[in-house]
């Protein structure tokens, strides 16, 4: 029942606005198929009236009629295919964009249980399956139903007795499809999960490729990937076995009506109670009747295999948090206060009744790994949301502040600088897309990147490589610091930004922080007590 409800939700939320195109697809599909039903009637006239009764004056009529039918069918088929592709592409763009915007706007805590690969498959692969139901599967199912009814009516007109005999296996056909549909749906749920898992493993192994090479972990990495790859193969083969068995049974069931018709209809032809033309036309209509039933089976299985994808999409949409408050931050001194704050990742408690304050100037967070220092940083900038208590900036609860407005006051430099493939200029300017070239030059000079830039012919256009791999660790952090400073936000957070850099870069960054400390609330996570500048606000996080 949940999948049915989710399908209705998906249709109302995304497809309804395309109702005109959707209805046009349905009508064109029916029209395109409807013309094919006339062809067997032409063959019946051709055999009985022209070949047997020598009514040659009808030949031009049959030829022109068949040409007209094929031409109209080709045009409607093109229009139907074009509109179906257009609807598919439009829905894919809209749904994937919508899901991505939800992920960007929601708290990271909502996604702590989701691997990166899982989120990627939901936004990309699962959306493709869900969109396919609306743009292709449902129209084809609708068309299949219509194209079952029309040949059935024509066959009844020819001979009720033969019609009832030939369609009798259809009941067995429907029972088999219901049975296999349930098995396919169950298997597809497992398949989507393992598909996400294999993508996450690939991303993880590729990201640690240097470590794999240095520590000679090729065998370990291969074994890790082989294990999940075997799961993928096993699950895929499960689907293959079910779908193959279904196709095999369907082929057998579809063959039975033809055999029954040849037995009973052939006897009627021999006795002279059924003309050869009607026999030929009836045989064509049997194929037309069971072809959409066979297609219906195929699309039914596609529908059943796609409903888990809609369910996974709905899980993302259900996490869409609408802001109920739109307060603007009334920034004064930049005092940040934690009052009885609790936070946990699942069952693991990170902070319990945490109380502390951070003031304008230098603030240091000191503590062992796992004590919650990085969590405190992410709570301040709204990436995470506390389970209890409140966090205020100049007395305002950050939960009541518009998230975008909160981000307009906070910059953060992570231990991983998160550089992307592109120039130094591009990696810095994203900190403030409205900044001028002179602003970029100013912050580069402040963090002492100017010499590096001048020493390269490309200058600011120097490509840092994927994840900044063409820079040293110190240079990457200088770029990250420049990016954080170019937006001139009054709160600056450094989340272990100096733990993996050389001594010269560390001195440079500390010098920069001293220069700007009077204008910003700066919070620094450090393990090196000798780096702490005095006087400073030092907060030690006790080991649990």
Residues 102 and 234 in one domain: yes
Q: What is the mean pLDDT of the chain?
A: 80
Strand duo 388-393 + 537-541: pairing: unpaired
Q: Find all residues with CB under 8 Å of 57, minimum gap 6, and list them.
A: none
Q: Give the global pTM.
A: 0.60
What pLDDT does 354 receive? Answer: 92
Asked if 311 and 349 sit in the same domain, the reply is: no
The pair of structure tokens assigned to 159 is: 């001979």
| Cβ atoms within 10 Å, residue 522 | 25
- Identify whether 383 is part of a domain: yes
Cα separations in angstroms, 376 against 75, 371, 384, 484, 524: 63, 10, 9, 18, 11
167, 289 Cβ separation under 8 angstroms: yes
CATH number at residue 506: 3.40.50.300
* Domain boundary residue, one of 317, 346, 379: 317
Q: Are 138 and 196 in a shared domain?
A: yes
Domain range holding 352?
A: 336-541
Highest mean pLDDT among 67-76, 149-158, 247-256, 349-358: 349-358
Q: Is 334:491 a contact under the CB 8 Å cutoff?
A: yes
pLDDT band (50, 70, 90) for residue 292: low
122 and 237 share a domain? Answer: yes
Residue 391 has pLDDT above 60, yes or no: yes
Please give the average per-residue pLDDT across 349-369, as a whole number: 90
Residue 502 within a domain: yes
Is 394 in the same domain as 535?
Answer: yes
User: E strands of 335-451, at which residues?
Assistant: 336-345, 348-358, 361-367, 388-393, 396-397, 410-414
Q: Is the pLDDT assigned to residue 359 strictly greater than 90?
A: yes
Question: Same domain for 312 and 359?
Answer: no
pLDDT: which is higher, 98 or 248: 98
**pLDDT classification of 296: cutoffs 50, 70, 90:** low
Indicate whether 465 and 507 sit together in one domain.
Answer: yes
pLDDT tens readout for residues 376-385: 988 998 778 8
pLDDT score of 465 more than 80: yes
Task: Answer for the pair 305, 126: CB distance below 8 angstroms, yes or no.
Answer: no
Tell me whether residue 47 is in a domain.
no
* CA distances (Å), origin 64, targets 50, 61, 95, 221, 369: 15, 5, 46, 67, 83
pLDDT at 4 over 60: no
Q: Same domain, yes or no, for 296 and 342?
A: no
Is residue 392 scored above 90 in pLDDT? yes
Position 444 pLDDT exceeds 80? yes
- Interatomic CA distance for residues 222 and 127, integer angstroms: 30
Q: Is the pLDDT of residue 2 over 50?
A: no
The whole-number average pLDDT for the span 70-79 is 81
pLDDT for the residue numbered 299 = 65
More confident site: 8 or 507: 507
For residue 272, being part of any structural domain is answered with yes
The mean per-residue pLDDT over the stretch 98-113 comes to 66
| Residue 1 near residue 121, CB atoms below 8 Å | no
Tell me whether residue 500 is exposed, middle or buried, using C-beta atoms within 10 angstroms of its C-beta: 0 to 12, 13 to 18, 19 or more: middle
3-state secondary structure of 493: strand
Name the domain boundary from 265, 287, 317. Answer: 317
pLDDT class for 3, splitting at 50, 70, 90? very low
| 134 pLDDT more than 90 | no
Inform me whether the pLDDT recorded for 440 exceeds 80. Answer: yes
Residue 286: per-residue pLDDT? 76
Asked if the structure places residue 122 within a domain, the reply is: yes
* 40 inside domain: no
In a domain, 38, yes or no: no
Give the range among 49-53, 210-214, 377-381, 473-477 with minimum mean pLDDT.
210-214
CB 90 within 8 A of CB 135: no
Task: Tell me if 83 is assigned to some domain.
Answer: no
Long-range contact pairs involving 442-450 (C-beta distance under 8 Å, separation at least 24): 443/482, 443/485, 443/486, 444/482, 446/482, 446/485, 446/512, 446/515, 447/478, 447/481, 447/482, 447/485, 447/508, 447/509, 447/512, 448/478, 448/508, 449/424, 449/475, 449/478, 449/479, 449/482
Dump pLDDT digits (tens) for 325-355: 568 888 888 999 999 999 988 788 889 999 9
497 falls in which pLDDT band (50, 70, 90)?
confident
Please compute the mean of the pLDDT values over residues 48-67 and round it to a whole number: 79
Same domain, 291 and 415: no
User: How far is Cα 410 from Cα 382, in angstroms, rounded to an integer?
Assistant: 10
CATH code: domain of residue 219: 1.20.1560.10
Confidence of residue 324 (pLDDT cuts 50, 70, 90): low
**Closest Cα partner for 494 from 468, 524, 520?**
524
Count Cβ atoms within 10 A of the Cβ of residue 153 and give its class: 0-12 exposed, 13-18 middle, 19 or more buried: exposed
Tokens for 384, please give them: 């995470």
Res 510: pLDDT: 86
pLDDT one-digit tens code per residue, 115-133: 666 777 777 777 877 887 7
pLDDT at 106: 64
Question: Residues 292-307, buried b or exposed e (16+ Cβ, 10 A)?
Answer: bbbbbbbbbbbbbbbb
Mark whether 284 and 357 lie in a shared domain. Answer: no
Q: What is the pLDDT of residues 251-278, one digit of tens each?
A: 666 677 778 788 888 888 888 888 887 7
Q: What's the pLDDT at 1?
A: 40
List pLDDT tens digits, range 196-217. 777 778 777 777 766 676 567 7
**541 within 8 A of 367, measured Cβ to Cβ:** yes
User: Strand 388-393 to strand 336-345: parallel, antiparallel, or no bridges (unpaired)?
Assistant: antiparallel
Q: How many domains does the chain have?
A: 2
Q: Are residues 284 and 359 in the same domain?
A: no
Is the same domain home to 258 and 363?
no
**pLDDT tens-digit profile of 153-185?**
777 888 888 888 777 776 666 677 667 767 776
């Amino acid at each position: 029942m949940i999948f049915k409800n989710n399908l209705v939700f998906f249709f109302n939320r995304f497809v309804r606005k395309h109702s005109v195109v959707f209805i046009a697809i349905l009508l064109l599909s029916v029209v395109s198929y409807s013309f094919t039903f006339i062809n067997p009637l032409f063959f019946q006239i051709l055999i009985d009236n022209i070949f047997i009764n020598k009514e040659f004056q009808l030949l031009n009529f049959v030829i022109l009629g068949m040409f007209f039918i094929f031409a109209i069918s080709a045009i409607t088929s093109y229009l139907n295919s074009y509109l179906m592709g257009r609807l598919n592409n439009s829905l894919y763009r809209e749904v994937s964009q919508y899901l991505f915007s939800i992920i960007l706007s929601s708290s990271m805590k909502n996604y702590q249980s989701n691997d990166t690969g899982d989120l990627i498959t939901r936004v990309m692969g699962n959306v493709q399956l869900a969109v396919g139901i609306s743009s292709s599967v449902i129209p084809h199912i609708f068309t299949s139903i219509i194209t079952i009814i029309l040949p059935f009516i024509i066959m009844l007109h020819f001979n009720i007795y033969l019609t009832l005999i030939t369609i009798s296996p259809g009941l067995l056909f429907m029972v088999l499809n219901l049975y296999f549909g349930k098995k396919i749906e169950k298997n597809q749920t497992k398949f989507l999960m393992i598909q996400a898992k294999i993508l996450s493993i690939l991303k993880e192994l590729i990201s640690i490729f240097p470590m794999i090479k240095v520590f000679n972990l090729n065998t370990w990495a291969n074994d890790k990937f082989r294990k999940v790859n075997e799961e993928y193969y096993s699950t895929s083969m499960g689907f293959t076995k079910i779908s193959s068995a279904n196709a095999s049974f369907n082929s057998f069931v579809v063959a039975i009506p033809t055999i029954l018709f040849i037995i009973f209809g052939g006897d009627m032809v021999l006795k002279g109670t059924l003309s050869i033309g009607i026999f030929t036309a009836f045989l064509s209509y049997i194929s037309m009747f069971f072809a959409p039933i066979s297609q219906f089976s195929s699309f039914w299985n596609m529908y059943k295999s796609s409903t888990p994808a809609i369910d996974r999409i709905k899980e993302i949409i259900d996490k869409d948090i609408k802001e109920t408050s739109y307060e603007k931050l009334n920034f004064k001194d930049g005092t940040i206060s934690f009052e009885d704050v609790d936070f946990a990742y699942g069952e693991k408690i990170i902070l319990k009744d945490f109380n502390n304050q951070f003031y304008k100037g230098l603030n240091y967070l000191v503590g062992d790994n796992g004590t919650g220092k990085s969590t405190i940083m992410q709570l301040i900038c709204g990436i995470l949301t506390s389970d209890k208590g409140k966090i205020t900036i100049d007395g305002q609860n950050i939960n009541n502040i518009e998230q975008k407005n909160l981000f307009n006051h906070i910059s953060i430099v992570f231990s991983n600088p998160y550089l992307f493939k592109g120039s130094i200029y591009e990696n810095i300017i994203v900190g403030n897309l409205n900044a001028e070239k002179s602003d970029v030059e100013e912050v580069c000079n402040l963090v002492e990147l100017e010499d590096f830039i001048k020493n390269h012919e490309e200058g600011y256009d120097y490509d840092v490589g994927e994840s900044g791999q063409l820079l040293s660790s110190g240079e990457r952090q200088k770029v990250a610091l420049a990016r954080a400073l170019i937006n001139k936000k009054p709160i600056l957070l450094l989340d272990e930004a100096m733990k993996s850099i050389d001594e010269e870069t560390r001195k440079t960054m500390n010098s920069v922080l001293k220069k700007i400390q009077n204008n910003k609330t700066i919070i620094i996570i450090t393990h090196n007590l000798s780096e702490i500048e005095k006087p400073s606000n030092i907060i030690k996080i006790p080991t649990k």
